[in-house]
Amino acid sequence: MTLFEFISSIISSLAWPTIVLIIVFILKNPLSKILISLTKFRYKDLEMEFERLQSSTDALPETIENKTIPESERIIYASLEEQIADISPRSPEGAILIAWSTIEAAISSAIMRLAISPEPPSYRSVIHNIECLKKYTNLDKIIFAILDDLRVVRNQVAHAGDGKYKVSVEQALSYGKTAEKIIKILQNLKR
51 pLDDT tier (thresholds 50, 70, 90): low
Is 36 within the bounds of a domain? yes
Query: Among residues 80, 108, 83, which one has the least CA distance to residue 181?
Result: 80
**156 and 90 in one domain?**
yes
Residue 128 has pLDDT above 80, yes or no: yes
177-181: long-range contacts at Cβ-Cβ below 8 A with a sequence spacing of 24 or more?
Answer: 177/81, 177/84, 178/146, 178/150, 179/80, 179/84, 179/99, 179/100, 179/102, 179/103, 179/150, 180/79, 180/80, 180/81, 180/99
The number of distinct structural domains making up the chain is 2
**160 and 114 in one domain?**
yes
**104 and 13 in one domain?**
no
Is 65 within the bounds of a domain? no
Note down the domain range covering 49: 3-59
Task: State pLDDT tens for residues 144-164.
Answer: 999 999 999 999 998 887 767
**105 and 26 in one domain?**
no
User: 13-17, 78-82, 156-160, 166-170: which has the minimum mean pLDDT?
Assistant: 13-17
Task: State pLDDT tens for residues 179-190.
Answer: 999 999 999 988
Is 64 within the bounds of a domain? no
**93 and 181 in one domain?**
yes
Is 78 within the bounds of a domain? yes
Residue 62 has pLDDT above 80, yes or no: no
